[in-house]
Structures are given as C-alpha cells and as structure tokens.
Amino acid sequence: MRTKLRRLLEKSVQTLASAGASHGAAGMASHGLAAEPAELLRDMEQGAVPAALLAVAGAATQAGLHDWRKLQKTPSADAPKPLSLGIGELSALMIGQDRLIADLRNQVVVLSREKEVLTRLLREKSETMRKDPLTGVYNRLAYEDQLHGEYQRWKRFRNPLTFLIWDIDHFKTINDRHGHAAGDEVLRGVAQQLAGRIRTTDFLARYGGEEFAMLLPGADRTAAFNVADKLRRNIAEATFSHRGVTIPVTISCGLAAFETGDSPESVFERADKALYQAKRAGRNCCWMIA
C-alpha cells in the first residue's frame, strides 16, 4: 500500500510541478527573467495548489481505503486481527459483563443464605423428630442412637458408663382413677423432674409408655446409684396435681453398669431385671444387679 501511495504522490507532484512551470513561464515573460520565486508563486492562480493537494489527498485516501478493505478481508499472518466492535459497543459489552458478574455474586449470596436457612430448618426438624411430643424429652429413636454412640465410646476409652431404666409406679391406676389427661400431666412432670436434675452430659429419653431410659457416662455403679436414689426421692416429694386434685407419684429404677464383655442388649437386660426386683421390693426404690 505504501508503494502505491508513493507512486501516486510522485505522479501528483509531477503534475503539480508541470502546472507551476507553465504558470512560471508566463510570469517570467511578463515580469522578466529576474523575477523572484515568491513573485512567481503569487502570480500563480490561488486555487491551483490547493486543488492539486486535495486531488492528491483524495487519491491517497481512496487508495488507502481500498488497501485497508483488502487487509480486512485477507489479513496477514503476523497482523493483529482488527476489532469488530466500536468503542461504544465495546463499552456497553463491558458494562453488561460487570452487571452479569454483580448479578451472579448476588445470587451466590442469596443461595448461601438459603442454604443456611435450609440447614437450620433440617436440623430443627431432625431434632423435633427425636423428641417425644408429650414430655419434651428424647424419644426411643434418639435413645437407640445415643446408646450406640455411648457404647462405642465406652469400648474405646473404658470410662464408666451406667444405664438406668425408670418406671412410674401404679401408672395404670393413675389413668383409671384420674383420667388420661391427668396421666399425661404426671408424665410431663416426671420427665421435667428427671431431666432438670441431671448433667448436660447425661441423657434421658422416654422409652415407651410410663418408662424412661437414662445414660450416665462417667458415673460408676456407686455414683450412678446415688444419683438415681436422689432423683427417686425428689419425685416422691414433688407435688403432682390435675384440676386441683393432688396425685401422689412414686417411681422405681433399675440400674446396670457396663462391664467387660457387655453389649447394649446385655446391659439393658440386667437393668430390666433390676427394675423388676425394685417392683417386687415394694416400688419407690432403686435396684442394681451386678
């Protein structure tokens, strides 16, 4: 493209020079051979030079556009690819990308918050499913999970672990004499008494009916028995009532400590036998089988 422009300029300059020479010859004839070059230029037509220059610029521009279009169609291997977007379009595209990134960030924040809410709801739902709706303490499902976990920890670390099973004395008589609503009140009251007087590391669940199961990790036979007997006395001394009628309530307990070779089933069986012995001994007492 540069070669063509150079040739075009040279040809245009030659044409311009020829035109100037003819005007210069006429000036020299009229003004004499001693005329100065500046005077010769003033004698030339004022529009001659600009017109020629415009012609040269126009031709050069046309040639340049022609070659530029050819380069656009067939770019060389080492030439950078021309932009297909204008500055305004490119600016709009960049603004659109910034908005898209901002929208994606907002969506990530919203999804993160929704995940936290969902996790919390699932945790609350899971906890609700593990609670007894009547008494508010843990249910049989939670008890089985807890027993399995405590048993595995006991096998690994061999720290003392004692299992207790409780049974409200003459609960059927309470229901028959005062009604099932009164029996529900007694169940709630007993659960509150038991749960409110044990450590946070201990575990209490409603096993079924009027029975409650308890795990005391870290408590050996003697310590667990002392805790159980104190709980028993507290319930016997507490006041239970329904619709203004006082209901006497006592409870019996069977205990079994985990020993070498034990399984959850064997410990439960010993504790259940101990509870049976407490019932035979007159109720309102605690019993432990070695």
Task: Number of helices (H) and strands (E) in the chain: give both, helices first.
Answer: 9, 7
Q: Which of 39, 124, 185, 210 is catalytic?
A: 210
For residue 185, give both structure tokens. Answer: 């009140």
Q: Which residues of 255-281 are buried (b: 16+ CB within 10 A; e: fewer)?
A: bbbbeeebeeeebbebbbebbeebbee
Burial (CB < 10 A; 0-12, 13-18, 19+), residue 162, is buried
Burial (CB < 10 A; 0-12, 13-18, 19+), residue 254, is buried
Residue matched to tokens 């969506």: 107
> Could you tell me which of 265, 200, 76 has the C-alpha nearest to residue 273?
265
Query: Is 36 known to be catalytic?
Result: no
Q: What is d(CA 170, CA 181) in angstroms, rounded to the nearest whole number?
A: 16
Positions annotated as catalytic residues are: 210
